Amino acid sequence: MTIKLPKAIEDYFEADRAGRPDAIAAAFTETGVVKDKGETHRGRDEIRAWMVEAGQLYTYTAEPFFIGAENGKTQVTAHVVGTFPGSPIDLQFFFVLAGDKVEELEITV
């Protein structure tokens, strides 16, 4: 199923598919924040490091299949399959956008 994603979110998932930490970091504002697995990563340098680490630990693919809105955030649900414990799983991605960039992303189960 193909869904239409806002440009900033599409940029994030495209960079993730390509395994490009620099491009993922560039999808965020300078002060962007990622919350994942109980940790908070602030700014592009920390976001880049978070993706480099994830890429070293696991290989995976994430296919978005749902988009909606919740509490002022854009919610995207993606089917994620990879070499991590619990695979496959559907993850919730809650985005706060600032123009064509991501200001905040929280990933939950």
Q: What is the pLDDT of residues 84-99, one digit of tens each?
A: 999 999 999 999 999 9
Whether 79 and 63 have beta carbons less than 8 Å apart is answered as: yes
Beta-strand pair 73-82/39-42: unpaired
Instruction: Give domain status of residue 64, yes or no.
Output: yes
Range of the domain at 22: 7-108
pLDDT given at position 55: 87
Distance of CA 13 to the CA centre of its chain: 6
Q: Please check whether residue 79 lies inside any domain of the structure.
A: yes
Q: Is residue 26 part of a domain?
A: yes
Tell me the whole-structure pTM to 2 decimals.
0.93
The pLDDT-based confidence of 2 (bands split at 50, 70, 90) is confident
CATH of the domain at 71: 3.10.450.50
Listed in sequence order, the residues at least 6 apart from 76 whose beta carbon sits closer than 8 Å to its beta carbon are 5, 9, 64, 66, 67, 92, 93, 95
67 inside domain: yes
Helix, strand, coil percentages, rounded to 5, for the chain: 30, 50, 20
2 part of a folded domain: no
Q: How many domains does the chain have?
A: 1
Residue 1 has pLDDT above 70, yes or no: no
Query: Residue 18: pLDDT band by 50, 70, 90 thresholds?
Result: very high
User: For residue 1, is it within any domain?
Assistant: no
